[in-house]
Amino acid sequence: QARPVESGGGSVQTGGSLRLSCDVSEYTRSDYCRGWFRQAPGMEREWVASVDNYGATDLANSVKGRATISRGRTENTLDLQIQDLQLSDSAMYYCAAGSATNWSPRNSPSRYEYWGRGTQVTVSS
């Protein structure tokens, strides 16, 4: 299967917003949990948001209230929008998909078998 493919990263000032998109055309919503992670240099990969195979969404506390995970412009895209960006949001953002039969927690990288290459988000003051 092809990797998920992220797009939409870039540089933004604090307080700004960004929309990341992921092509998940090979990972149908009914069969896969799909999510976003991020990793800053020297840090562990951190779960940001996910949507399970029933459509239920979940957000990390670090972005709750200023982020949304949703279907993108097409059924085959998964968007992550973050508002009020902070310096701490700077990271490489990864899109991932995991089969519905994987019972690991949604916020664990082990839940996801398929990973994109990432898109960089840099927030500056």
CA dihedral of 8, 10, 11, 15, whole degrees rounded to 10? 20
Location of structure tokens 């949703």: 70
Q: What does the pLDDT read at residue 2?
A: 85
Contact 56, 70 (CB under 8 A): no
Strand locations in the chain (E): 5-7, 10-13, 18-23, 32-39, 46-51, 57-59, 67-71, 77-82, 91-99, 114-115, 119-124
By C-alpha distance, which of 96, 77, 88, 98 is closest to 19? 77
Q: What does the pLDDT read at residue 28?
A: 87
Q: What does the pLDDT read at residue 75?
A: 82
Q: What does the pLDDT read at residue 83?
A: 98
Q: What does the pLDDT read at residue 63?
A: 98
Q: What does the pLDDT read at residue 72?
A: 86
The series of mean pLDDT values per 10 residues for the chain, 125 residues long, is: 92 97 91 96 97 94 97 90 98 96 93 97 97
